Amino acid sequence: MRTQVTYIILLLVLVGCQKENKLTFETLSLDETRCSECPNVEINIPKALENSKIAESINTAIDEEIIETLNYDDELEATSIKDAVQSFSNGYWELKKLYPEEATSWEAKIEGKVSYENADFISIELNSYIFTGGAHGYSSQHFLNFDKNKAKELENWEIFKDRKDFEQFAEQKFRNQ
């Protein structure tokens, strides 16, 4: 009986001491709506807090994705989220100058969250909705995947062990559908 108790205690100590190896995030919330006529821009994204290469890689990739989504002004080279918001606003105001009676207010909403994480891999889900006039807006969903050990963003094809096998699997599922 004493041996069993010793094994149980040892097991509890080992399990309790294992490091979970999860990154720490906080939500960065930006509401960049400056006036009642201005475009409505809301951003809620995870920001990695650690001072590490993987945290820097994640934060940079998220920023780049948002910049690409909001960059509407050809004359402004957006290098930050603030620049991209300004670019989005400039695009709206240019359209409003050309068509003052027609321009409806623009809207951009970007939400992000950690969708999966283990010791080796982390995936960030970004959902965006952009309305720049017309009948309806545009929604998109992107996943940014990272190798935590190499501290780098993965291309989509890199997340599969055998790309050809996956392509055949997807082709078969598509044909069955």
Q: Cα 177 to chain center, whole Å?
A: 30
Closest residue by Cα to residue 53 from 156, 149, 145: 149
Distance between CA atoms of residues 26 and 4, nearest Å: 43
Q: What is the pLDDT along the chain (177 residues), one digit of tens a residue?
A: 554 444 445 444 444 444 567 899 999 999 987 788 889 999 999 999 999 999 999 999 999 999 999 998 777 788 999 999 999 999 999 999 998 887 788 999 999 999 999 999 999 999 999 999 888 999 999 999 999 999 999 998 888 888 888 889 899 999 999
Residue boundaries of the structural domains of the chain: 2-176
User: Which residues make beta-bridge pairs with 108?
Assistant: 41, 130
Q: Tell me: domain 2-176, CATH 3.60.15.10, correct?
A: no
> CA dist 105 to 41, 53, 96, 156, 165, Å?
11, 39, 9, 35, 47
As a whole number of angstroms, the distance between CA 25 and CA 2 comes to 43
Residue 17 region by backbone torsions, left for phi larger than 0, else alpha for psi between -120 and 50, else beta: alpha
Structure token pair of residue 78: 């957006």
Q: Which structure tokens are listed for 103? A: 């321009």
Answering whether pTM is above 0.75, one says yes
Distance between CA 137 and CA 108 in Å, rounded?
Answer: 9
